[in-house]
């Protein structure tokens, strides 16, 4: 899980071009969307594409999305669950 | 102002009669896409037009525009004075295929540009005047009609063929899907279970005339424009911009809300749009009149939709029918609106038709039964030119100071503007999602306002770009093709629209007035200046007028006929902070002449517009000539003809020799002119001679655009 979180930090900083954020100061429990990073609905959709492309986990409803993207930790948890779910 | 003729082709059918029949039958034409393959998964429901000739040498957009134009022009036996088209797709469907096949032959891409649609229609119908393209995403059609209205009111034209057109393509199909804005079950505007739009295609045209035709279909009584200045893709949650546009349209028409008997809603079927629009309608109307969105029947044909709905509104007042809100079964109680469950036959006199788009771009039109109301707006007497208070530019040399310093040495400034220099003064948070063109545009805008030294902000924005956001377009299409049509970037899609940069400028300055992006190839900046000159009095206050293009290593050489394959790229642009107020202005700008197609005798017309040969010699000290490489022979011939006929003997600077080849190079030439007027002299090394002192009335600068079109911009002291 912690490896996944670290991996996600790097990916999200890259795809959302968060120039003033580094993996070290990216708080995995902080509010991700609508929080201090200025991440909005378009960024969420950008992350939806990344999660499906890189992890094969689909997020196609706003309701699910709101919970999943609450924080980096919740996102990593959903990906873990989704991956094991599709594997079984 | 009369609607003399209309043309329409949509998924509902071709022609006003077929459209009326489909509306009376409350028929939806939305069905799964089969125009192109979509990789894996089921094709999404779309509004697709049947019966076009395929394959055709012309892109689908051009074909659709021609069919609608033929219908609208059937009532008229002479060419229109001007053409204004709203489009966002141009030849992109063809381009997508060519890029996938790795075609590198430039000729194959000749119909890619948005301008090519207007030029094609102008050629087919013999229009010699301006052929303008408005590209403000989903409001393009309505905004084009608003601009046409102003052109007629100002007396710049007596007849205008105006409309909107877009075709289905991968960019919009996968783009809206990536934003999760497509309803998999078809489009259900205003329904409590609505889940988005159905991307569609189509075209509609209106022939507008100031003289009353024998059988007018309707009147275009008013038009209103606004910008949310809130978000690049989402509407203002309270419908602020939608309300402003409707209010402006009513004020322009001299109507009260109570005069409106039907509202044709934008009603895309996305949860956010319908909610924001409902709030705006409920704010403006104490008891809203009957209303409906037809997008559950037609789908959302993007740039065409505003024109299609203007034609449907014309049908409503001329054939006594109120169309149903097709697709809505359970009106969403939260919206507080009761959309028409079925079509109604009823005599009505006044319709309000709404169109909103990305970039927060809004347009609203008031269409009425002929001679039912006395028009409020009388032909105005403005158009006295624009007063420039500040300017800025970017070139391969860098910012304005760096550019002017090199030019003063007689050295070229061509090359790619340095991206770090461009973003230097912009907050990182603001620009993190923006690529080259948007960054350049924001920086130009900020530079022009700062240069004015005024503690003031622009209310409206007019932007010209020949090719739009090439980086986003390329990145989106490449990622899509590389993933087998599976993954596309929503950020790139939002950024790919031509009006993305101007929308960002509006957000940065809170500019809620008119926001128009024009695309006219090498004359895009001139088109933006023309739009500003037409609309500025309407919106009041100050405006930004910009022209910018980006050099993209793959797309620029394919699209721009003046950029040779493997040639060194150049890009940049210019921006002006201006108003109508001459007091304290740095200089004045006019656009006395713009003709999209060159014709026999056009040099004489150009001379005439400048006041005739004798006055020329006394007025101008410098001529900046814009001759795109692709039209060098024609441009040189025109220039020689002009110099001979005018007898003008002033230094001529072929400015593209300095700026390099890019579509909006004329915006940089305009900044050169303004800078020299402010300094009071033209550097001698630029003209390979002595410094030229610019004094009084004799020190004006003429900037000519030559080649396929012909334009003249005049810069003078206040």
Asked whether B587 and B678 are in contact (CB, 8 A), the reply is yes
Per the structure, the count of domains in chain A is: 1
> Is B491 within 8 Å of chain A by CB?
yes
Yes or no, beta carbons of B179 and A53 under 8 Å apart: no
Q: What is the pLDDT of residue B459?
A: 94
What confidence score (pLDDT) does residue A61 get? Answer: 78
Percent pLDDT > 90 in chain B is 90
Please judge whether A62 and B180 are an interchain contact, meaning their C-beta atoms are less than 8 angstroms apart: yes
Are B501 and B437 within 8 A, CB to CB? yes
Burial environment of residue A3 by CB neighbours within 10 A (0 to 12, 13 to 18, 19 or more):
exposed
Please, which residues have CB within 8 angstroms of residue B284's CB and are 6 or more apart in sequence?
B243, B246, B247, B257
B490 close to A (CB below 8 A):
yes
**Statement: residue B440 has pLDDT above 70:** yes
Kindly determine whether residue B490 and residue A52, on different chains, have CB atoms separated by under 8 Å.
no
- Band of pLDDT at residue B40, cut at 50, 70 and 90: confident
| CA separation for the pair B2, B341 (Å, rounded) | 31
- Residue B433: list chain A partners with CB under 8 A: 16-17, 42-43
Catalytic residue among B62, B112, B127, B138: B138
- Inter-chain residue contact B180 with A45, CB threshold 8 Å: yes
Asked if B490 and A60 come within 8 Å (Cβ–Cβ), the reply is: no
pLDDT for the residue numbered B380: 53
Helix or strand (DSSP H, E) at B516: strand B515-518
Give the pLDDT of residue B425.
83
Q: Which residues of B touch A48 (CB under 8 A)?
A: 180
What lies within 8 Å, CB to CB, of A34 at 6+ separation is: A40
Q: What percent of chain A has pLDDT over 70?
A: 95
Q: Which residues contact B698 (CB under 8 A, 6 or more apart)?
A: B618, B619, B620, B621
Interface test with B, best of A16, A18, A49 (most B CBs within 10 A): A49
pLDDT of B705: 98
Is B570's pLDDT higher than 90? yes
Partners of residue B432 in chain A, C-beta under 8 Å: 16-19
Q: What average pLDDT score do residues B154-163 get?
A: 95
Structure confidence at residue B697 as a pLDDT band (50, 70, 90): confident
pLDDT of B39 reads 86
More confident call, B591 vs B581: B591
The pLDDT value recorded for residue B549 is 98
Interface contact B489-A46, CB threshold 8 A: yes
* pLDDT of the residue at B641: 96
Longest Cα–Cα distance of chain B, Å, equals: 77
Find chain B residues with C-beta within 8 A of A17's C-beta. 432-433
Question: CB neighbours of B72 closer than 8 A, spacing ≥ 6?
Answer: B5, B6, B7, B161, B163, B205, B206, B207
Q: Is B138 a catalytic residue?
A: yes
The pLDDT confidence band at residue A87, using thresholds 50, 70 and 90, is: very low
The confidence score (pLDDT) of residue B378 equals: 60
> CATH code at A48?
1.10.1200.10
Distance of alpha carbon B121 from alpha carbon B364, whole angstroms? 25
Contact between residue B701 and residue B673 where contact means Cβ atoms under 8 Å apart: yes
Mean pLDDT of B303-312: 98
**Quick one: pLDDT at residue A64?**
83
Q: Which two tokens stand for residue B456?
A: 């003031």
B42 Cβ under 8 Å from any chain A Cβ: no
Interface of A with B (CB under 8 A): 16-20, 38, 40-43, 45-46, 48-49, 52-53, 60, 62
C-beta neighbour count of A86 within 10 angstroms: 11
**Chain A contact for B697 (CB, 8 A cutoff):** no
Confidence band of A71 (pLDDT split at 50, 70, 90): very high
A5-11, long-range: CB < 8 A, 24+ apart:
A5/A72, A5/A73, A5/A76, A8/A72, A8/A75, A8/A76, A8/A79, A9/A72, A11/A50, A11/A54
On the question of pLDDT at B225 being above 90, the answer is yes
Residue B493: CA count within 13 A, CB half-sphere = 25
Residue B179 structure tokens: 């934003």
Tokens of B653: 């600077």
Among B112, B177, B266, B389, which one carries the catalytic annotation? B266
**Each residue of B529-546: pLDDT tens digit?**
999 999 986 455 899 999
ipTM of the complex: 0.91
Cβ of B432 within 8 Å of Cβ of A18? The answer is yes
Instruction: Supply the pLDDT for residue B591.
Output: 95
Neighbours of B259 (CB within 10 A): 18
State how far the Cα of B86 lies from the Cα of B531, in Å rounded to an integer. 13
Segment (H or E) for B693? strand B692-693
pLDDT of residue A85: 60
Q: Is B507 on the interface with A (CB under 8 A)?
A: no
pLDDT at B376: 72
Q: Does B553 participate in catalysis according to the annotation?
A: no
Q: Provide Rg for chain B, Cα atoms.
A: 24
Could you tell me which chain B residue has the CA closest to the CA of A18? B432
**Structural domain harbouring A8:** 2-87
Give alpha helix (H) positions in A1-88. Answer: 2-15, 41-55, 62-68, 72-87
> For B572-598, what is the HEC assignment?
EEEEEEEECCCCCCCEEEEEEEEECCC
Per the listing, tokens 């020799």 go with B657
Domains of chain B with CATH codes: 2-368 (3.40.47.10), 386-716 (3.40.47.10)
**E strand map for B199-277:** 202-209, 218-227, 262-264
Determine whether B300 is an active site residue.
yes
Judge contact between B403 and B393, C-beta under 8 A.
yes
pLDDT tens profile A6-51:
999 999 999 999 988 999 999 999 999 888 888 988 999 999 999 9
> How do B350-357 and B262-264 pair as beta strands?
parallel
Q: What is the pLDDT of residue A14?
A: 94
Tell me the C-alpha distance between B383 and B367, whole Å.
26
A62-69 average pLDDT score: 84
Express each pLDDT in B658-696 by its tens digit: 999 999 999 999 999 999 999 999 999 999 999 999 987
> Which residues 262-281 of B have a C-beta within 8 angstroms of A?
none
Q: What is the mean pLDDT of residues B300-326?
A: 98
Secondary structure (3-state) at B363 = strand
* Tokens encoding B348: 């009505």
**CB-nearest partner of A20 from B428, B486, B487:** B428
- How do residues B468-490 score in pLDDT, each as one tens digit? 999 999 999 999 999 999 999 99
Q: What is the mean pLDDT of residues B144-148?
A: 98
Which of B468, B469, B546 minimizes the C-alpha distance to B509? Answer: B546
C-beta atoms of A46 and B491 within 8 A: yes
- pLDDT computed for residue A88 by the predictor: 35
What tens digit of pLDDT does each residue of B388-402 get?
999 999 999 999 999
Average per-residue pLDDT for chain B: 95
Closest residue, chain A, to B184 (C-alpha): A60
Least confident of B35-44, B375-384, B396-405: B375-384
B329-343, B373-387, B699-713 — which is least confidently predicted? Answer: B373-387
> Is the bond preceding B24 in cis, omega lying within 30 degrees of 0?
no
Does B383 score more than 60 pLDDT?
Answer: no
Q: What is the length of chain A? A: 88
What stretch of H or E contains B145? helix B140-153
Average pLDDT (B577-595) is: 93
Q: What is the pLDDT at residue B377?
A: 61
User: For residue B434, what is the nearest residue in chain A, using CA coordinates?
Assistant: A17
- Residues 6 or more apart from B334 whose CB is under 8 A from it? B192, B275
State how far the Cα of B531 lies from the Cα of B538, in Å rounded to an integer: 11
Find the residue in B nearest to A13 (Cα): B432
Calculate Rg over the CA atoms of chain A: 12
Residue B598: name the closest of B557, B556, B627 by CA.
B627
Question: What whole-number distance in Å separates Cα of residue B679 and Cα of residue B695?
Answer: 10
Q: Of B178, B232, B233, which has the smallest distance from its Cβ to A49's Cβ?
A: B178
């Amino acid at each position: 899980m912690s490896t996944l979180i670290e991996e996600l930090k790097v990916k999200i900083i890259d795809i959302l071009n968060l120039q003033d954020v580094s993996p070290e100061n990216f708080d995995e429990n902080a509010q991700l969307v609508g929080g201090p990073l200025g991440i909005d609905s378009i960024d969420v959709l950008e992350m939806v594409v990344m999660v499906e492309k890189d992890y094969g986990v689909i997020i196609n409803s706003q309701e699910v999305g709101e919970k999943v993207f609450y924080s980096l930790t919740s996102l990593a948890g959903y990906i873990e669950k989704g991956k094991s779910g599709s594997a079984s | 102002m009369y609607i003399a003729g209309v043309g329409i082709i949509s998924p509902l059918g071709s022609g006003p009669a077929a459209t009326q029949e489909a509306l009376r039958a409350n028929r939806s034409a939305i069905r799964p896409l089969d125009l192109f393959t979509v990789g894996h998964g089921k094709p999404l429901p779309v509004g697709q037009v049947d019966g076009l000739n395929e394959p055709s040498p012309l892109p689908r957009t051009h074909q659709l525009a021609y069919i609608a134009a033929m219908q609208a022009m059937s009532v008229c036996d002479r060419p229109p004075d001007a053409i204004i088209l709203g489009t966002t797709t141009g030849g992109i469907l063809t381009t997508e295929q060519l890029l996938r096949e790795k075609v590198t032959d430039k000729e194959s891409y000749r119909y890619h540009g948005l301008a090519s649609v207007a030029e094609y229609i102008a050629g087919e119908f013999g229009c010699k005047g301006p052929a303008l393209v408005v590209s403000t995403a989903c409001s393009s059609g309505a905004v084009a009609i608003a601009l046409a209205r102003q052109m007629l009111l100002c007396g710049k034209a007596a007849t205008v063929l105006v409309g909107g057109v877009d075709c289905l393509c991968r960019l919009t199909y996968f783009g809206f899907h990536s934003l999760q804005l497509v309803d998999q079950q078809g489009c259900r505007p205003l329904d409590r279970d609505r889940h988005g739009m159905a991307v569609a295609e189509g075209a509609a045209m209106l022939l507008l005339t100031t003289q009353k035709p024998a059988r007018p279909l309707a009147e275009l009584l008013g038009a209103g424009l606004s910008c949310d200045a809130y978000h690049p893709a989402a509407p203002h949650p309270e419908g602020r911009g939608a309300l402003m546009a409707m209010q402006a349209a009513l004020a322009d028409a001299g109507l009260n809300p109570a005069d409106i008997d039907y509202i044709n809603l934008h009603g895309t079927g996305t949860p956010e749009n319908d909610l924001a629009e409902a709030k705006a309608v409920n704010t403006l109307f104490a008891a809203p009149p009957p209303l409906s969105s037809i997008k559950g029947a037609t789908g959302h044909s993007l740039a065409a939709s505003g024109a299609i709905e203007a034609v449907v509104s014309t049908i409503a007042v001329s054939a006594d029918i109120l169309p149903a809100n097709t697709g809505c079964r359970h009106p969403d109680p939260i919206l507080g609106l009761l959309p028409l469950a079925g079509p109604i036959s009823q005599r009505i006199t006044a319709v309000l038709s709404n169109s909103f788009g990305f970039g927060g771009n809004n347009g609203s039109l008031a269409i009425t039964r002929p001679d039912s109301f006395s028009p409020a707006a009388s032909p105005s007497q403005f158009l006295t030119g624009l007063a420039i208070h500040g300017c800025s530019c970017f070139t391969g040399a860098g910012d304005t100071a760096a550019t002017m310093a090199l030019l003063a040495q007689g050295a070229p400034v061509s090359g790619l503007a340095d991206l770090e220099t461009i973003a230097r003064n912009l907050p990182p948070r603001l620009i993190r999602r923006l690529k080259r063109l948007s960054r350049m545009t924001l920086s130009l805008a900020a530079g022009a306002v700062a240069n004015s030294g005024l503690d003031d902000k622009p209310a409206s924005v007019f932007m010209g770009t020949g090719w739009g956001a090439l980086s986003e377009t390329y990145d989106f299409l490449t990622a899509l093709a590389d993933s087998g049509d599976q993954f596309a970037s929503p950020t790139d899609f939002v950024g790919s629209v031509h009006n993305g940069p101007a929308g960002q400028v509006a957000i940065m300055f809170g500019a809620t007035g008119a926001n128009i992006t024009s695309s006219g190839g090498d004359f895009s900046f001139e088109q933006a200046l023309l739009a500003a000159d037409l609309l500025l009095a309407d919106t009041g206050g100050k405006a930004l007028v910009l022209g910018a293009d980006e050099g993209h290593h793959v797309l620029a050489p394919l699209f721009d006929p003046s950029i040779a394959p493997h040639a060194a790229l150049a890009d940049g642009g210019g921006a002006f902070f201006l108003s109508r107020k001459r007091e304290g202005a740095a200089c004045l700008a006019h656009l006395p002449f713009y003709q999209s197609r060159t014709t026999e005798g056009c040099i004489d017309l150009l001379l005439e517009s400048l006041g005739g040969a004798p006055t020329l010699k006394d007025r101008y000290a410098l001529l900046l000539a814009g001759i795109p490489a692709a039209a060098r022979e024609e441009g040189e011939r025109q220039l020689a003809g002009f110099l001979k006929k005018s007898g003008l003997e002033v230094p001529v600077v072929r400015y593209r020799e300095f700026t390099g080849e890019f579509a909006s190079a004329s915006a940089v030439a305009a900044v050169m002119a303004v800078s020299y007027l402010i300094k009071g002299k033209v550097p001698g090394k630029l003209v390979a001679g002595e410094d030229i002192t610019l004094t009084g009335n004799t020190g004006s600068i003429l900037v000519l655009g030559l080649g396929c079109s012909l334009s003249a911009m005049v810069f003078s002291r206040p």
